[in-house]
């Protein structure tokens, strides 16, 4: 078993981003700037946004966190997004998901200028990604590709099974792995809650991307010997043993599965850290105008 070490890879790439941010500041007289909007008081979302902001500071970006109460109207939120779209001091703009039920995430996603959509969720970015055109790739799938690239893992011709079809991870991941690109060129099976024989599908996989949000869903008995295992799960359970008051569990039973896998990501210390890197890279590209000029 070889570890896909998110801690190592993310710190190396963040060092490069830090240097590029310094060069950007020198050339442009300002820092790349990410704005994150958070609505309500979901504990996990608050943690994620705080971590995004902290990492921006770490690499020398400017970051702004706009926090609204749960009851903000969709109209007010869209008005704020339009204001930020027009602000040339803002390079990247994200709205943390999930949103309260009275706000339509599709309307919010489409309100964001696709040239500032560093989450890569806008239909223009999604369509361009599918066509292999320059675009912003969603942060988690992007981070996974960067990790595979770092370790020189050749995915061409492999059978990838993606578990979970979310807009944030599973669906874009299935598109990216199928693209004529590197990493990519996989034969992809996208499985989800209505898939009949999910375990049999996973057993056929050379690469498993587990993004289903169920603690230890992937067990050793459903993994092929030598498979590459990418664990996207961040399942929080309260714990008296940690300072934070909770403990994180992956979608993969690491202890069991690691003895069968050729490569595997740990949780924590794997994909989560790479997601931040994907977001930082997109924000830098947005500032530099290297995707959309």
Binding site for ligand GUN (CB under 6 A): 94-97, 119, 139-140, 168
- 130 catalytic? Reply is no
Candidates 14, 80, 91, 96; catalytic one: 96
Q: Residue 227 CA to chain centroid, in angstroms?
A: 22
DSSP characters over 183-241: S---EEEEE-TT-TTHHHHHHT-SEEEE-S--TT-B-GGGS-TT-EEEE---EEEE-SS
CA–CA separation, 209 and 187 (whole Å): 13
Output 3 or 97, the one with its CB closest to ligand GUN. 97
Output 44 or 156, the one with its CB closest to ligand GUN. 44
Output 96 or 283, the one with its CB closest to ligand GUN. 96
Picking from 50, 118, 105, the residue whose alpha carbon sits closest to that of residue 74 is: 105
CA–CA separation, 236 and 246 (whole Å): 6
Picking from 224, 208, 220, 189, the residue whose alpha carbon sits closest to that of residue 265 is: 208
Contact assessment for residue 99 and residue 69, using Cβ atoms and an 8 Å cutoff: no
Output 139 or 177, the one with its CB closest to ligand GUN. 139
- 96 catalytic? Reply is yes
CB closest to ligand GUN, residue no: 97
SS3 content of the chain, % helix, strand, coil (to 5): 40, 15, 40
In degrees, to the nearest 5, what angle opens at C-alpha 154 toward C-alphas 145 and 144?
15
- 101 catalytic? Reply is no
Candidates 14, 52, 116, 281; catalytic one: 52
- C-beta of 168: minimal distance to ligand GUN in Å? 5
Output 146 or 257, the one with its CB closest to ligand GUN. 146
Catalytic positions, written as ranges: 52, 96, 119
């Amino acid at each position: 078993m070889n570890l896909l070490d998110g801690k190592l890879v993310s710190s190396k790439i963040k060092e490069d981003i830090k240097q590029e941010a310094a060069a950007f500041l020198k050339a442009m007289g300002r820092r790349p700037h990410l704005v994150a909007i958070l609505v309500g008081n979901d504990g996990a979302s608050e943690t994620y946004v705080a971590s995004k902001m902290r990492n921006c500071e770490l690499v020398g970006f400017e970051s702004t966190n706009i926090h609204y109460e749960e009851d903000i109207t969709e109209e007010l939120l869209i008005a704020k997004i339009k204001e930020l779209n027009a602000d040339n001091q803002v390079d990247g703009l994200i709205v943390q998901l999930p949103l309260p039920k009275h706000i339509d995430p599709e309307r919010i996603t489409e309100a964001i200028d696709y040239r500032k959509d560093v989450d890569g969720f806008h239909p223009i970015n999604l369509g361009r990604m599918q066509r292999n055109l320059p675009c912003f790739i969603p942060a988690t799938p992007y981070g996974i590709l960067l990790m595979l690239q770092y370790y020189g893992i050749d995915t061409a011709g492999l059978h990838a099974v993606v578990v979970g079809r979310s807009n944030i991870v599973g669906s874009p991941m299935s598109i990216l792995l199928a693209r004529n690109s590197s990493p990519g060129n996989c034969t992809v099976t996208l499985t989800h809650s209505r898939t009949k024989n999910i375990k049999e599908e996973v057993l056929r996989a050379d690469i498993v991307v587990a993004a289903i949000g169920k603690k230890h869903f992937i067990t050793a008995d459903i993994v092929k010997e030598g498979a590459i295992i990418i664990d996207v799960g961040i399942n929080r359970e309260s714990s008296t043993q940690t300072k934070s008051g909770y403990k994180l569990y992956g979608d993969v039973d690491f202890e069991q599965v690691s003895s069968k896998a050729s490569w595997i990501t740990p949780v924590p210390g794997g994909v989560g850290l790479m997601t931040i890197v994907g977001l930082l890279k997109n924000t830098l590209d947005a500032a530099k105008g290297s995707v959309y000029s």
